[in-house]
Structure 1
């Protein structure tokens, strides 16, 4: 049986980040970065199939899972998530790590690997190939959207039960299996007097005021120096074919063609053993 995960918080410039770790003295060190509005428990089924001797570190991004929320008047920015990774590395003394990122976590993984090439040994992407900011002409529209969203109150919707919250997750992501949705809801909600609410900061739903356009993102990912592997679900999300080809061609360290596994956007929760096998093979080969 695998060793249990220990749960603790670290400091990210005054913000408490929730981290879980298994086998602190193990090697190699692998840091998992979850998707937007998810949390570290989205990797539970996958990590159960990884080698027991590996050091596994799972982070809840700021304002998600059990990590702290920003103070009133603050907003979340993409670069903040790279700071979360930097803070975890510093707090745990991780000189160099393998990164496994799903969706948003994959985007952060590539950005961090480009910014800190000496600190990242490899990047394994799950359903992730960069942001979707699009054409530079959308910059003004994005800024207006950010200002509009800032006037929306940060409402935390209540649900009568964890099961109801899980059903809501499946409305937004129909390919998500019922058991996976329930697992996300159990670990991603908290009980309140009038039901349960998701723990993520509702301000995460606001649009970014600034983001990378396609040319900027290609310039960022061109800085990646470590091996990269991409895994996609056959029914998952993908950018337009031309965008995907351009981004794949712009990753000189990409290891082979994208690996396809039956499943949707949360394919690592649908096919955890198969995804874990792919992660294991890739990291062992690096």
Structure 2
């Protein structure tokens, strides 16, 4: 049967409006997709065309990105805040459990949430994501300095004459992004300004550096707390952590199912190979459906 159209919903995250799209709300299994940094839920649109149409497919815009609300003056964005976004989505949609799929930042959030709420996660798919790079301990002081320096700079929302110009800027920042993918990001990730230009919808404060981060031992402890089945999907030209770091993080995932699957493509491999990546997700999710879904 053909897939139902997505409906847009606004959920409450302790007063902050979160934009969520879902289709087939009565379907099973329920699968929640989490996008990458400065991206939005439409980054999964090409992939969703190849997913089983009877799934309850849910796409979240993280706070300060896509169509979700921005935090108020004086506030900032932290990784743990996005775990609140996930919990607000599950609670707002009355989902006791869900399968999580996360790309890049979304994978980091998905992994951390699965560690904190193991009883709510049926399976975990990480696309181009194995955790943040905290760096060596001696970088902690410089991180704090960067955080304070960035807080002094006013948010700068750049303007572009057209959606196409905004898409080209995305490609300059991420050369592996295809023209079609960049245009998809720009079409759904910009709004016209009163002057008739285009500006990205994400809160520019997301570009500020964090004051704190996980060190490697802390992150490995989070990974070790995962109890659901995990699969890792990577692009052949995507992120390239050192072999030692990659292997250490894979080893810490005690419920990892098989080695990482590698697809031709870059960091946004799910946009370059949507059918193949969707097939890998569908196979994995169906293999891990349980009565809790």
Instruction: State the match for 2:284 in structure 1.
Output: 282
Inter-partner Cα distance in structure 2 for 1:217 and 1:134? 12
Instruction: State the match for 1:146 in structure 2.
Output: 147
Instruction: State the match for 1:85 in structure 2.
Output: 86
SS at match of 2:277: helix
SS at match of 2:12: strand
| Cα deviation code 1:210-265 (max 9, x no counterpart) | 11011111111111000000000000012111111100000000111100000000
SS at match of 1:245: helix
Query: Are 1:217 and 2:219 matched, yes or no?
Result: yes
Instruction: State the match for 1:272 in structure 2.
Output: 274
Instruction: Indicate the larger mover: 212-221 or 56-65.
Output: 212-221
How do residues 66-85 of structure 1 correspond to structure 2 at under 5 angstroms? 66-85=67-86
**1:193 CA drift (Å):** 2.8
| Cα deviation code 1:27-82 (max 9, x no counterpart) | 00000000000000000000110001100000000000000000010011110000
1:240 to 219, 237, 242: 242
**So what's the TM-score if we normalise by structure 2?**
0.97
SS at match of 2:154: coil
How do residues 1-286 of structure 1 correspond to structure 2 at under 5 angstroms? 1-194=2-195, 195-286=197-288
Inter-partner Cα distance in structure 2 for 1:14 and 1:221? 31
SS at match of 1:254: coil
Aligned length: 286
Inter-partner Cα distance in structure 2 for 1:2 and 1:285? 21
Instruction: Indicate the larger mover: 234-243 or 246-255.
Output: 234-243
Inter-partner Cα distance in structure 2 for 1:138 and 1:223? 26
Inter-partner Cα distance in structure 2 for 1:92 and 1:272? 26
| Cα deviation code 1:151-186 (max 9, x no counterpart) | 111010000000000001101111111011000100
Structure 1: gaps (5+ residues) = none
**1:115 CA drift (Å):** 0.2
| Cα deviation code 1:102-156 (max 9, x no counterpart) | 0000000100000000000000010000001121221111111000000111010
SS at match of 1:8: strand
Instruction: Indicate the larger mover: 98-107 or 137-146.
Output: 137-146
SS at match of 1:21: strand
Inter-partner Cα distance in structure 1 for 2:134 and 2:202? 23
Structure 2: gaps (5+ residues) = 289-293
SS at match of 2:122: strand
Inter-partner Cα distance in structure 2 for 1:174 and 1:262? 15
